[in-house]
Amino acid sequence: MTNPALAPWTGPHGLPRFDTISDEDFAPALEEALLAHDGEILAIAGDTEPPTFANTIEALERAGGALDRVLGVFFTLAGADSNPKRQALQRDFSPRLAAHFSAISSNKALFTRVADLWARRDDLDLTEEQARVLMLTHRGFVRAGAALEGAAEARMTEIKERLAVLGTQFTQNLLADERDWSLPLAEADLEGLPDFVIRAAREAGRERGAEGPVITLARSLITPFLQFSPRRDLRERAWRAWAARGANGGETDNREIAAEVLALREERARLLGYESFAAYKLETEMARAPDKVRELLMAVWAPARARAEADAEVLEAMLREDGINGPLEPWDWHYYASKRRRAEHDLDEAALKPYLRLERMIEAAFSVANRLFGLEFRPLDVPLYHPDCRAWEVTRGGEHMAVFIGDYFARGSKRSGAWCSAMRGQATFPERQAPIVINVCNFAKGDPALLSYDDARTLFHEFGHALHQILSNVTYESISGTSVARDFVELPSQLYEHWLEVPEVLEEFATHVETGAAMPRDMLDKVLAAANFDQGFQTVEYVASALVDLDFHDGPAPADPMARQAETLAGLGMPHAIGMRHATPHFAHVFAEDGYSSGYYSYMWSEVMDADAFAAFQEAGDPFDPERAAALERHILSTGGSQEPEALYTAFRGRLPGVEALLKGRGLVDA
């Protein structure tokens, strides 16, 4: 009998049969899948025929199907619905997978075949897409260390395996800190909190088996608590716990892990001939080099810091009006900024939330995709990996395009943050396959579930990533969907956020949870007018994190990352009352894996483009302009990594943008 975790996916529209797979299936499935992939690689490398694109590059594209199935299900569960068994499996799988893929990249016979094709590339009569896949395959082998020999080759394998272990440990430590901490609230502690926060706290208490309401370290719960609780002592306890994740001492402390990761990354880069890990990492991104990243971040830092310091003076005056003589602290910012927004914009989060029901915001995201790209979404009744999940079939003109899965609610088994992943990517080789795309968020559960405006923006952001997968239309899965440069991948997601601010979208879908009435026009106007409220704070906390990330990797690795972090922040003149968005011990973007290492800046790099890209629709006079929407799909959303990102963006917009659109979009300079 075939192992259910290894079997072809036979659910509706090619979904995995989650209902038949148990945790006990994964280890033997991985063993079999690794052996199968090893056999496929050996057959390619040992082919006695001269290398061709078909028998080498396309053969590599075809290989590993069983392994992809096993890992597609396993890592979905490990990130979104972990348990002790899955965590133990992840600790075992990570170094083994690193060794497996390292063995492929160091297979000399295989690399010789790829290098031979690369040397003869001009004579192979390849399509543009095939030439791109060959280039990326050859570059991937070289950057993985395929040209290394002897001790250097062996050391590279050791480094990769150790980094895989450390990344898994970092993630699991962070999950443990977030899962194990809670702040119990007595009934008196609920005073001043809006009903939606109280309901969410009670729901969190029920989920954790507590006798009453609790505040957890889910962002969707702790942020509104910091915004609304008049109890400064409780706000301080909550903020300090949030800031201390990964730095509480004991088995879950991530500080030594961070130091070792940075040292190993530097060693890895130097083995490959680069002067720093940042130089190695950024070579294949749009930025190309660390100095270009620093130039962008510093261009934004100065106006953002000036705005934040001016805001801090206003908030500190409000603090003193409340009879508190000390300085404004990080646990005060959200509270007084929220009060200030109510005063200056007459906009109260508690009054706004009933208009932002999760169901209606999902409908809004789908409706925009329908108007722009003709996509339709039909609910599916299928077994998924958790009862909170839901699924839709995505079609266009009656043609099946994808399956989209939404997993929206926070829970103790889910890592923090929000992300989009594809259990299966789009491709037409070796046969046509439609993507299976998942959006994972951490919204507070409620009946009904109500979102903050930031939550709604997150939903649109992740759905923008999903559209990049759904609308992909390339031949090879290795370049489909979001398989693009890291500082280009956030363009579709951040661009999609703009449609949440289109008045007619909110007019239709921001309806009151009880009455069904549309959001009043004056409230809608206030929401849009306040879109850039507190941008000084938000930009400073983000840019500080991006600059710390860059400083970690642009030069010798620091022996004490916390000291380097403090040094960077002091050099920037970091405002006292603002913390980094992601301090080192919980900076999962950078330390859980190396996807965003030296690359946390990429959100802002992409924002330079997304502000300019949405301006194309504004210039057309219609946020749903058919010609602009078709161009966006044709040049960016459907093309994956089939061309260099600069070429894709220029094809869409006619030029590359400057930073001015970003600064204006954030309200940091006069429009």
Residue whose tokens read 């509270």: 335
Annotated catalytic residue within 462, 497, 607, 633 = 462
- Going through 425-520 in order, the beta strands assigned E by DSSP cover 436-443
Residue whose tokens read 């306890």: 237
Residue type, 594: D
Do the Cβ atoms of 304 and 534 come closer than 8 Å?
A: no
Bridge partners of 357, per DSSP, are 450
Do the Cβ atoms of 472 and 484 come closer than 8 Å?
A: no
Separation of alpha carbons 337 and 327, rounded Å = 15
How many C-beta atoms lie closer than 10 Å to residue 209's C-beta?
A: 6
Task: Please name the residues in contact with 316: beta carbons below 8 A apart, sequence gap of 6 or more.
Answer: 327, 328, 577
How many C-beta atoms lie closer than 10 Å to residue 619's C-beta?
A: 10
Output Rg (C-alpha) for the chain, integer angstroms: 25
How long a stretch of residues is the chain?
Answer: 671
Structure tokens at 527: 């929401």
Do the Cβ atoms of 597 and 590 come closer than 8 Å?
A: yes
Structure tokens at 652: 């869409």
Phi–psi pair at 134, nearest 5 degrees: -60, -45
Report H helices in 194-254: 195-207, 219-228, 232-243
Task: Please name the residues in contact with 571: beta carbons below 8 A apart, sequence gap of 6 or more.
Answer: none
> Angle CA(79)–CA(83)–CA(85) in degrees, nearest 5?
110
Do the Cβ atoms of 474 and 480 come closer than 8 Å?
A: yes
- DSSP track, 257-301: HHHHHHHHHHHHHHHTT-SSHHHHHHTTSSS-SHHHHHHHHHHHH
Q: State the virtual CA torsion across 547, 255, 160, 95 in degrees, nearest 10.
A: -140
Separation of alpha carbons 529 and 549, rounded Å = 33
Task: Confirm whether 462 is a catalytic residue.
Answer: yes
Residue type, 283: E
Q: State the virtual CA torsion across 111, 117, 118, 120 in degrees, nearest 10.
A: 150
**Catalytically active residues, by annotation:** 462
